[in-house]
Amino acid sequence: MFTHEALKKAKTDLYNIIANHAYNDYARMNLTSTGKRKNSKHIPYSLGYDTLQAQEIYKLAYGKNPEDITEEQEEQIKAFLLPYRIHRREYLQDRGGNEYYNN
């Protein structure tokens, strides 16, 4: 069962994963390989599979207390976060806008 601190850390990590994947989706469409804008106008883009999958997992934990999360949901959250916490740490960097969890 999640503790309050573990759930807060999981929510923060999920938020950062979504933010980093969404930025990569944006950059893929709107930025050149050197990091400059392709066009002066915004080019629409859609979110990738990884971003949408992270959002689904985030919805399991968002707005819930540790006692509200079932063991099945907890296992889904932990299983999703495990590869990011071990091998894909660059997605856990803070992109900003996450002041709620940083307090």
Q: Is residue 103 part of a domain?
A: no
Domain count, the chain: 1
Cα separation, 63 vs 89, whole angstroms: 25
Secondary structure class of 3 (helix, strand, coil)? coil
Q: What is the pLDDT of residue 58?
A: 93
Compare 7 and 99 and report the one with higher pLDDT.
7
How many alpha carbons lie under 13 Å from residue 24 in its C-beta half-sphere?
Answer: 13
Q: Helix/strand/coil (H, E, C) string of 31-67?
A: ECCCCCECCCCCCCCCCCHHHHHHHHHHHHHCCCCHH
Q: Is residue 40 part of a domain?
A: yes
Q: Is residue 101 part of a domain?
A: no
Q: Is residue 57 part of a domain?
A: yes
Residue 29: domain span: 4-96
Amino acid at 88: R
Q: Is residue 73 part of a domain?
A: yes
Q: Is residue 25 part of a domain?
A: yes
Cα separation, 14 vs 76, whole angstroms: 12
Q: What is the pLDDT of residue 101?
A: 55
Q: Is residue 69 part of a domain?
A: yes
Residue in the structure block whose two tokens are 């985030």: 58
Give the CA diameter of the chain. Answer: 49
Q: Is residue 102 part of a domain?
A: no
pLDDT tens track for 26-61: 888 888 888 788 877 778 888 999 999 999 999 998
